[in-house]
Amino acid sequence: MTAIAIGDTVPDFEAAATGGKSVKLSDYRGKKVVLYFYPKDNTPGCTQEGQAFRDNIGQFEALNAVVLGVSRDSVKVHEGFKCKQAFPFDLLSDQDESLCHLFDVIRTKNMYGKQVQGIERSTFLIDENGVLVKEWRKVQVKVHVAEVLDFLKTA
């Protein structure tokens, strides 16, 4: 599967999600989908980013957008993270990295002097018809949610 680009229709992916369900992109036809990829549950930056989406969820909903978080963590780990942080949106488990590869977010990173493959913090906006309309890569946690909301207000 090749990575998608702005203007492409996103394939109707399916992923295991919190709440014991399986989520398909087509479940959200008619709504904008904010799909954010983050490295790991229960880490400082990922917690801050999730909290920012949580704290602004009303604004996303008012703009006809749903928020979905994605990492390679298991659904079980996601359940604990979601509960602990009171996230009002689902977290998707991508343990086989199929979504990570579709959106081309796996990068080589240096961690404690070793090279590892990990998720580059990225967000994608999919429109009501399933078309990728915007992407943010190398996201800066502190300003990111405001950037996404600003764009959504003009979309």
Nearest to 5 by CA among 111, 140, 134, 128: 134
Q: Is 83 marked active-site?
A: no
Indicate which residue of 10, 17, 33, 46 is catalytic: 46
Phi and psi at 103, nearest 5°, equal: -95, 5
Task: Judge whether 4 and 99 are in contact, CB under 8 Å.
Answer: no
CA neighbor of 47 nearest in space, from 59, 57, 39, 58 = 39
Rounded to 5°, the CA angle 90-30-61 comes to 50
Contact predicate 32/152, CB 8 Å:
yes
Active-site amino acid positions: 46
